[in-house]
Amino acid sequence: MGALFTKARKRLKAAAKHLDVHPDVIEKLRYPKETLAATLLVRMDDGSRRGFKAWRCRYDDTRGPTKGGIRYHPAVNLDEVMTLAFWMTFKCAVANLPYGGGKGGVAVDVKQLSRTELERLSRAYVQAFARFIGPDRDIPAPDMYTNGIVMAWMADEYSMMADQPSPGVITGKPIALGGSLGRDDATGRGGYFVIRHLEKDLGLSPDKSRVVVQGFGNAAYHFARLMHADGYKIIGVSDSRSAIYDPDGLDPLAVMEHKNKTGRVAGAPTNRKAKELSNAELLETECNLLVPAAMESQLVQDNADKIKAPVVLELANGPTTPAADTILAKRGITVIPDILANAGGVTVSYFEWVQNKAGYYWPVQEVQTKLRAIMEPEARRVWDIKLEKNIDMRTAAYVHALHRIASAIEAHGTKAFFAGGA
Ligand code: NAD
């Protein structure tokens, strides 16, 4: 077991302490159900062939087909794929989607591939994992460095192999190929619903609270845009190269226009009080709500003591390390965990799959109303568990999810799940 997965699995133990769960259930959830590794031999534009390591993990499918993105990144490895699949299992259960958790990855630097090489790589992935994935078995989606176009190639390859249109095999597709309206801003919108619903409990309010967002990509931008429209002041945002801070508040739309033109947030139109900061300084800025929305392991042992926000909303996956979590909890800082905070993305992916299966497509208002109808009660339930059991919100979210997963495992009976029966 890799280090990341070993750390992630500790959440299971922490949650199990607060529930009366059969030890067999915990033992089952300590390991992925199945993982497949393959080497994708891809024809490059110069005629040569190159091998790329690839993985797909189906962590647990008790509650339904496994669901989770495919990541293209040079550092992807089995440990990371398994960890992300573990997190997806709990995220889908928090949102009460009829899914288990899965994840995939390819160790590749997409910046070094041409578009045609990227297409051949994506089609090769489906060829290698065609028996593993499927609309009722395991449903991929985009993740880091994969997007709607990659999903379209993959859905097309799968449909050709199945000899029938199979849009439900993958979500995050372009609208023209069966994607859902409202998927583009779903992650930011889901986080926004959570904050607005719990804002009184969290001591936040639109007229008084200042928000700092790390990152300015899909999740971050839509969250900032919606909060700004409701009156919250967005006083800082960043990208991989720089951060900007304006005590009077930034306009996310203007920052995005600038970023689209120049490729960076720095230099966006602001007033005279604005200044540039380093990413480290941005995280430590005085504010009421801090939103890491870029990448893993940003709040760590070394900076957890310096975080000034009383509330953290994890739009990124895994931005807080367990060591930082302990420090933040001791300091009374409320961390709204990733498996709740960013569950809006997978929830609208689920809506996409439902629409594909029904062949009937919903207007964007319906998607947003249905998303809200999931995010708000689940956020409330996690908050109530936190209060009832006097635990941090992350543990509460895991307790909430584990209760659902364990009930499903137990409802199946031991025979179906443990070789040799009870
Ligand atoms: P994205 O690629 O659209 O944006 C990422 C942003 O982070 C970019 O603005 C980039 O410049 C910035 N960034 C990269 N490295 C940085 C660094 N070191 N410091 C500051 N900023 C940095 O990605 P996204 O889809 O918005 O995903 C962001 C996070 O949200 C990831 O952790 C992802 O797993 C998580 N997430 C996204 C979705 C979704 O639907 N998009 C769903 C669930 C979780």
Q: Residue ranges per domain, the chain?
A: 34-177, 186-341
Q: State the pLDDT confidence band at 267, using cuts at 50, 70 and 90.
A: confident
Residue 96 φ/ψ region, left for φ over 0, alpha for ψ in the -120 to 50 degree band, beta for the rest: left
On average, the pLDDT of the chain sits at 95
Q: How far is the CA of 179 from the centre of ligand 1 (A)?
A: 21
pLDDT confidence of residue 74: 96
Closest ligand 1 atom, CA of 295? 32
Reference 160, options 126, 131, 121; nearest CA is: 126
Size (the chain), residues: 422
**Active site (annotated) includes residue 28:** no
Q: pLDDT digits over 340-383, tens only?
A: 999 999 999 999 999 999 999 999 999 999 999 999 999 999 99
A 10 A CB-CB count for 48 gives 8
Closest ligand 1 atom, CA of 243? 20
- Using the predicted structure, report yes or no on whether residue 81 has a pLDDT greater than 60: yes
Point out the least confidently predicted range of 6-15, 52-61, 90-99, 351-360: 6-15
Six token digits for residue 18: 């607060």
Average pLDDT over residues 88-110: 98
Query: Is there a contact between 94 and 396 (Cβ–Cβ < 8 Å)?
Result: no
- Atom 36, ligand 1: which residue's CA is nearest? 316
pLDDT confidence of residue 295: 86
Q: pLDDT digits over 2-19, tens only?
A: 888 998 899 999 999 999
Q: pLDDT digits over 134-182, tens only?
A: 999 999 999 988 999 999 999 999 999 999 999 999 999 999 999 999 9
Q: How far is the CA of 407 from the centre of ligand 1 (A)?
A: 33
Q: Where are the beta strands (DSSP E) in 157-257?
A: 210-214, 233-238, 243-250
User: Which one is catalytic: 28, 33, 67, 103?
Assistant: 103
Closest ligand 1 atom, CA of 187? 40
Ligand 1 mutation target, pool 72, 187, 256, most atoms within 8 A of CB = 187
Amino acid at 63: R
pLDDT confidence of residue 416: 54
Q: State the pLDDT confidence band at 269, using cuts at 50, 70 and 90.
A: confident
Chain centroid to CA 112? 25
Ligand 1 mutation target, pool 240, 256, 297, most atoms within 8 A of CB = 240
Class of domain 186-341: alpha beta
Average pLDDT over residues 215-236: 97
When the candidates are 3.40.50.10860, 3.10.20.600, 3.40.30.10, 3.40.50.720, the CATH number that belongs to 34-177 is 3.40.50.10860
Q: Where are the beta strands (DSSP E) in 293-349?
A: 311-313, 334-336
Q: Is 186-341 in the same CATH topology as 34-177?
A: yes
A 10 A CB-CB count for 98 gives 13
Residue 64 φ/ψ region, left for φ over 0, alpha for ψ in the -120 to 50 degree band, beta for the rest: left
pLDDT confidence of residue 7: 87
Question: In the structure, which protein residues have their CB atom closer than 6 angstroms to any atom of ligand 1?
Answer: 187, 214-220, 238-240, 279, 293-295, 315-317, 342, 345
Q: How far is the CA of 309 from the centre of ligand 1 (A)?
A: 20
pLDDT confidence of residue 422: 43
- Atom 28, ligand 1: which residue's CA is nearest? 294
- Using the predicted structure, report yes or no on whether residue 421 has a pLDDT greater than 60: no
Query: Is there a contact between 241 and 218 (Cβ–Cβ < 8 Å)?
Result: no
Q: How far is the CA of 108 from the centre of ligand 1 (A)?
A: 18
Beta bridge partners of 121: none
